[in-house]
Structure 1
Amino acid sequence: MPILKNSSQDAVRPKTRRNSYVLPKLPVPPLQETLNMYLKSMRHLVTEEQYKTTEGIVQKFGARGEIGEFLQQQLIKRREREANWVYDWWLDDMYLRNPVPLTVNSSPGMVFPRQIFRDQNDQLRFAARLIAGILDYKVVIDARALPVDYARGQLAGQPLCMEQYYKLFSSYRLPGHQKDTLAVQKSSVMPEPEHVIVACQNQFFVLDVVINFRRLNETDLFTQLRKIVKMAENQEEQTAPIGLLTSDSRTEWAEARRVVMRDSTNRDSLDAIERCIFLLCLDSPSGVEQTDINLALQIMHGGDCHKNRANRWYDKTMQFVVGKDGICGLVYEHSPAEGIAVIQCVEHLLCYIKETSKKLVRADSVCELPAPRRLRWKCDSEIQRYLTSAADKLQRLIDNIDLNVYWFKTFGKDFIKKQKMSPDAFIQVGLQLSYYRCHGRLVPTYESASTRRFQEGRVDNIRSATKEAFDFVKAMIDGGPSISDSKKMELLWEAINAQTNYTILAITGMAIDNHLLGLRQMAMELQMDLPKLFTDETYLISNHFILSTSQVPTTMEGFLFYGPVVPDGYGASYNPHLDHIIFCISCFNDCKATSSTMFAKAVEKSFIQMKELCIKYNTKAKQSFMGNITQKVQNGRKLYH
């Protein structure tokens, strides 16, 4: 795609470098090691009776000449012919076959630093700069010229797959009756006219950002946004709040979309939304106190004010929210990309806005521009019933979400690093201690681990509820005076060590979740009876992630958050800074056992307790606790070369 002219000057643009490296393919882990790790990961999370049953099932599955060995060989053959043998199966299982509403359940949100807008023009100037920054970033994306990311933390320095970035502004999730479809637009030699969809007062408008092969500058965009706001105020022209349909369950929305598509006007409007670069949501004032929690809820679903709940279109990958009262952020559809790609994009945009805000934007464009176009919808009584139903269910979902944004200020990653510990491993063990403090047990835990070291790599799961973490939290909560603090410190190091080992396995393609998924899906693809391993109660428990966690670091004072993935679970994202950690904890109100406030208080108590333990006992004797992490991993599973 040719790079279009940009009438803005001094654009803030990432340095470019052609991607000239070839990444290895994701490995297929050894079968017996996966089965052994699976048993080890679940032994302390199920009853002894259940474990004995599972142990027998696993041993039979993995025995010589049995079904597991056959399926393993089929996976190895699949690896030879696919760029990434698990990607399609993983995408379907994680996202496209999940029928729950995207709102709250699937789409994460991100809160930007709060803006101060004196009037609506300030809001629109910020929005114009935001659009210009995205278009500037998209030039580099379209040229596939982003600088290559390199791994940080464990096994730092390895190049990473960049494909997720290239889907941020070209993807759309189509609802389906059986499963959704992730549609990705391909770049062409001759670019089509590019446009953004602007949502304002629950209406949708087409804002062309390239006219006569010229990219609109910030002044042009500001002029067009003012026209859209004026058009949206015309009560006589307003149409039904059709965006509500995208907040419904995927099967309901698929059926409603089929009905909507009967009319050619509606088809044209849907086509315009599905082909847009991104959505810009110009929100009305929320009317509530601007706490971190209220900011997050506003981004997630429109907030407590009814004005903005239909001012979204959840199927589009990137939706930027710019509120008249300064609430700004992003809600994104998760299937094309992980949080790190989104955060990198956002931080570039905020840098662009900061730099370009030093320049004045003229009040109006110097050239005459065609007016933006309002999208029209024809809604009969059947569509109205779908809208009413979707609105009712969205309200119940809004009432049900329990979210807490907790700033832990006692220490941050700087203190943890001084203990010679991995900040992520420390925080994960702390979350296990916090959950045990609340509920008296540990549960299957999901921590996303990037597999971008491989072609088309997305994530695998770090199972943080290790036996070593279990021993540590039991000692801390139940041990009493019978367990010395020095022993607790030893158990903490063993838990940190186990967490670090598993992290290395996950990022090198050697964790168990994707492998087990692949074995299961291979059996289904071959139309075989599903092996008993995958219908066993332990396997079902192991995939019910009551604690879903993710590290989402930013350099700015913003934060990313998401809802729980199961009805009785917690979502727990964390953003570690040098001297503090931002935790975003979510659960559902209709589960009486969970509470985000209770969990946040447990986090505070647990992390302070761990700090006190470290200060007292974490000396040079660390080496006797820790062992050689790299050697342990190599003894268990070879790192890829």
Structure 2
Amino acid sequence: MAEAHQAVAFQFTITPEGIDLQLSYQALNQIYLSGVRSWKKRVSRLRNRVIKGVYPASPSSWLFVVIAILATMYMRSDPSMGLITKIQQHLPLRYTETQEPLYTMLSVLVFSTLLWLSLILALRFCLKLLLSYHQWMFEQHGRVSNTTKVWVTLLRLLSSRKPLLYSYQTSLPILPVPAIKETLSRYLESVRPLLTDPGYKRMTELANQFESNLGNRLQRYLKLKALWATNYVSDWWEEYIYLRSRGPIMVNSNYYGMDFLYVTPTALQAARAGNTITALLLYRRKRALVCWLCSISIKINKIYLKKNKKNTNNKSQCERMFNTTRTPGVETDVLQHWQDSEFVAVYHKGRFFRLWVYTAGRLLSPREIEHQIQRILDDPSPPQPGEEKLGALTAGDRVPWSQMRKQYFSSGINKRSLDSIERAAFFVTLDDEEQGMRGEDPAGNLDRYAKSILHGKCYDRWFDKSFSIVIYKNGKSGLNAEHSWADAPTVAHLWEFTLATDAFQLGYSEDGHCKGEVDRSLPLPQRLVWDIPSEAQVCSSLAVAQALADDVDCHVFPFRDFGKGRIKKLKISPDAFIQISLQLAYYRDRGGFCLTYEASMTRLFREGRTETVRSCSNESCAFVKALEDGEEAEQCRHLFRLASERHQNLYRMAMTGAGIDRHLFCLYVVSKYLGVDSPFLKEVLSEPWRLSTSQTPVQQMELFDLKNYPDFISLGGGFGPVADDGYGVSYIIVGEDMINFHVSSKYSCSQTVSKASVTFMFGCDIGHFVQ
């Protein structure tokens, strides 16, 4: 009752003398401050929209154009060549001779505005042409052509203003549709080392038959889509690869990010949650209001171009980072996004809570959030019937979850509680277990830590949320992300900021608590209420998810013998070095080669997402065979460099829109819409990726001082295996001397063992190349 009393701004009583009003000035002041904060946020958003909309010009340039036109008019010169007079004649207003100067001024403003907008469109077109130039990526390090030097100069001139988060979206070039002949040629080259001579001949015949008959017809439809859509791949990729998948997204699609390897900033679960939640909300605020992600000016020079390829890339995936949920459907899921939520959803020991993280428009301090989290941890109430394992619905097959949602969650208290989870900024799990590299078996515990973040108990995560944060009992943390809304680099950027802000900016007191004061009058976190009449479907979904989780074999391997520092001294790409090492590891493990997937970004284009780099090439296979056959060291080194250069070229081609797999995928989608079958496309799209790999890039090394704080090393993250008889390999290159690997496979396949496969990766033979 005391809390309810304080929430009332005024009271009144009726007496014989009249009405006695008792105003609470503190409450009214908080209401006033809340309104001020709200309007500041609206003004800031409007300002950012204007700045983004006129980029690469500035709003102040409009005033310059107006003054210039007025100055020329004052000098009795008409720069509009009569257009200002025509505009004045066609104004839908009547005026007298005495008012003519005023209406002339109005005509000048109209003409100046139209001229200014035309200049913006022209600058934007020029910038798009400049950003379409990608030849600099194919030039050797230290050898910059004159064309690239001129391009750098022009790009500096046009992008001298500081960009905001989405400033470049309208200036980014459209992803081109490759020529079908070139795609088929590159495809045949990529599968040559995987096929026997008769098999390669058959595939060549299928490709030639496809090109001469159906291929050109499908290509015309695809080019038509490219003219109409901002990206001919992304919407179909999101829908058919992610949202239309009817199997569990847990393990199969969702991926994870891990905490620091050697350090846990605090052992207090509530305190770690307080700082982590605060850091995430600070990221959201900076992203939304001041566009922190791209607020630095562009530095285009030959070193920057070679080392940092994300300066002008696509940022559209950031839009759905927070307040987003994947909702199930019978045929396809839907991504739902809401405006900024002022609460997060929290799960602890089978109970769901809604935790408000703002009060009167003010973000709670880390200490206040810790206080609220501790209230949840201290709450002794048991789960309601059907509540504890409700999250298993998001871990199982999608169709049963869709039917369950429609039947039991479309109205009443269940809908209100589900809305609280789905509309939340993100999901938080307060795990009752301890995880991390600890105890007498640090390597084994690290593997269990990875599995825990990937799937947990299959019911204590909400896998439909854009991302979920896991805070363990001993203060360790982790992240589980849904894949359809964005790719790993976007989430990695968020997670890097969160870890760095938590450890180095917010910090903790000496006793491990968050810093700041506590308003103990804050209302209790709201317990969500459910009415689940049947738990049968929950149990069924849990059984499916549990079988999938039990089959996953995860191994995390911090490699510290050498890192990119020694690799780069040999003038070899670290990514190429690792990919060739993976080919060697797979060959030693399985006695052959396989179709290999490496994810590459296409964010140099508007709404770009990913492309596949087919890392298993003729050159890499030649090197592996030479090394295994005991060829001379010099010959092996020569083949290794050829394989490295080939891989780098494949990666650049994928980044610049000349990949293979997205083009073939879209051709296949068109064929399905037309109702025609293609034996070639059907076979290509059914080929298994037994080795699926991805590098998690460290994008903000400036946030981590590894020289003074060498133990604050990020473990990166990983994902589940793509093929039942294959491996999923994620790796992160940390600093100069460390590479972290995350390897996954399935226990049900006797030929794959995650831990054993790593021993083949950096054996003594491959180590010779970094001596």
- TM surpasses 0.5: yes
1:340-419 matches, cutoff 5 A: 340-354=489-503, 355-358=505-508, 361=514, 365-366=518-519, 368-381=521-534, 384-419=535-570
Deviation at 1:377, TM superposition (A): 1.8
How far 1:174 sits from its partner (Å)?
1.2
Q: Secondary structure at the match of 1:549?
A: strand
| CA–CA separation in structure 1 for the residues paired with 2:412 and 2:400 | 21
Structure 2: distance between partners of 1:584 and 1:211: 41
Query: Match for 1:548 among 692, 700, 709?
Result: 692
Assess if the C-alpha contact under 8 Å between 1:222 and 1:364 holds in 2: no
Secondary structure of 2:762's partner? helix
Match of 2:720 among 538, 563, 567: 563
Deviates more, 1:201-210 or 1:16-25: 16-25
Which amino acid in structure 2 is aligned with residue 592 of structure 1? Answer: S
Displacement after TM superposition at 1:410 (Å): 1.8
- Write out aligned runs for 1:558-597 (5 A): 558-577=715-734, 578-597=736-755
8 Å CA contact 1:61–1:533 kept in 2: the answer is: yes
Q: Distance in 1 between matches of 2:425 and 2:335?
A: 15
SS at match of 1:99: coil
Partner of 1:612: 768
Deviation at 1:513, TM superposition (A): 0.5
1:217 aligns with 2:361: no
Match of 1:111 in 2: 258
Residue 240 of structure 1 contacts residue 379 of structure 1 at CA under 8 Å; is this kept in 2?
Answer: no
Which residue of 240, 247, 255 corresponds with 1:100? 247
Corresponding residue SS for 2:249: coil
Q: CA deviation at 1:614?
A: 5.4
> What is the CA–CA distance in structure 2 between the aligned matches of 1:309 and 1:163, rounded to whole Å?
31
Deviation per CA, 1:68-122: give whole Å up to 9, x if none.
Answer: 1122122112111111111111112321122231222211111112665876xx2
* Residue correspondence of structure 1 range 460-609 to structure 2 within 5 A: 460-477=611-628, 479-480=629-630, 483-525=631-673, 527-536=674-683, 539-541=685-687, 544-554=688-698, 555=701, 556-577=713-734, 578-605=736-763, 608-609=764-765
* Count of residue pairs the alignment pairs up: 580
Q: 1:51 aligns with which of 193, 200, 204?
A: 200
Amino acid across the alignment from 1:600? V
- Conserved in 2, the CA contact under 8 Å of 1:446 and 1:548? yes
1:623 matched residue in structure 2: none
* Maintained 8 Å contact 1:207/1:372: yes
Q: Which residue among 450, 454, 457 is the counterpart of 1:300?
A: 454
Kindly indicate whether residue 348 of structure 2 is the aligned counterpart of residue 200 of structure 1: yes
Contact 2:508 2:514 in 1 (8 A): no
Which residue among 183, 193, 199 is the counterpart of 1:34?
183
Q: Using a 3 Å threshold, how does the CA distance of structure 1 residues 406 and 116 change in structure 2: closer, same or farther?
A: closer
Which amino acid is 1:610 matched to?
I
2:607 is the counterpart of 1:456: yes
- Separation (CA, whole Å) in 2 of partners of 1:436 and 1:507: 27
TM-superposition CA deviations, 1:136-156 (whole Å, max 9, x none): 111122237133398865784
Alpha-carbon spacing, 1:364–1:489, altered in 2? closer, same or farther (3 Å) = closer
Q: Cα gap change, 1:511/1:128 in structure 2, threshold over 3 Å: closer, same or farther?
A: same
**Counterpart position of 2:215:** 68
Does the 8 A contact of 1:99 with 1:251 survive in 2? Answer: yes
Distance 1:535 1:213 in 2: 55
RMSD: 2.5
Counterparts of 1:52-451 in structure 2, within 5 Å, are: 52-63=201-212, 66-113=213-260, 116=264, 122-143=268-289, 145-148=291-294, 153=306, 156=309, 158-185=311-338, 187=339, 194-231=342-379, 233-235=380-382, 239-261=387-409, 264-286=412-434, 289=439, 291-302=445-456, 309-354=458-503, 355-358=505-508, 361=514, 365-366=518-519, 368-381=521-534, 384-451=535-602
Maintained 8 Å contact 2:165/2:315: no
SS in 2 for 1:164: helix
CA contact (8 A) 1:4 1:215 kept: no
Amino acid at match of 2:610: V
CA offset digits 1:163-193 (Å, max 9, x no partner)? 22222113211122222222233x4xxx6x5
Which is worse superposed, 417-426 or 168-177? 168-177
Q: Matched residues in 2 for 1:19 and 1:557: separation?
A: 28
1:133 and 1:141 map into 2 onto residues whose CA distance is 12
- The higher radius of gyration belongs to 2
CA contact (8 A) 1:203 1:311 kept: no
Distance in 1 (alpha carbons) for counterparts of 2:187 and 2:307: 23
Distance 1:155 1:278, change over 3 A: closer
Change (3 A) 1:557 1:116: closer
**Contact 2:274–2:514, Cα closer than 8 Å, also in 1:** no
1:35-56, Cα deviation, whole Å (9 max, x unpaired): 1011111122123323222211
Q: Distance in 2 between matches of 1:299 and 1:137?
A: 22
Structure 2: distance between partners of 1:181 and 1:602: 42
CA distance change for structure 1 residues 18 and 311 in 2, over 3 Å: closer, same or farther?
closer
3-state SS of the aligned residue for 1:83?
A: coil
The question of whether the paired residues in 1 share the 8 Å contact of 2:587 and 2:593 is answered with yes
Q: Partners of 2:293 and 2:383 in 1: how far apart?
A: 49
d(CA) in 2 for partners of 1:91, 1:46: 31
The alignment's TM-score, normalised by the length of structure 1, stands at 0.85
TM-score, structure 2 as length reference: 0.71
Change (3 A) 1:129 1:48: same
Which structure has more relative contact order (CA 8 Å, sep 6+)? It is 1
Separation of aligned partners in 1, 2:376 and 2:731: 37
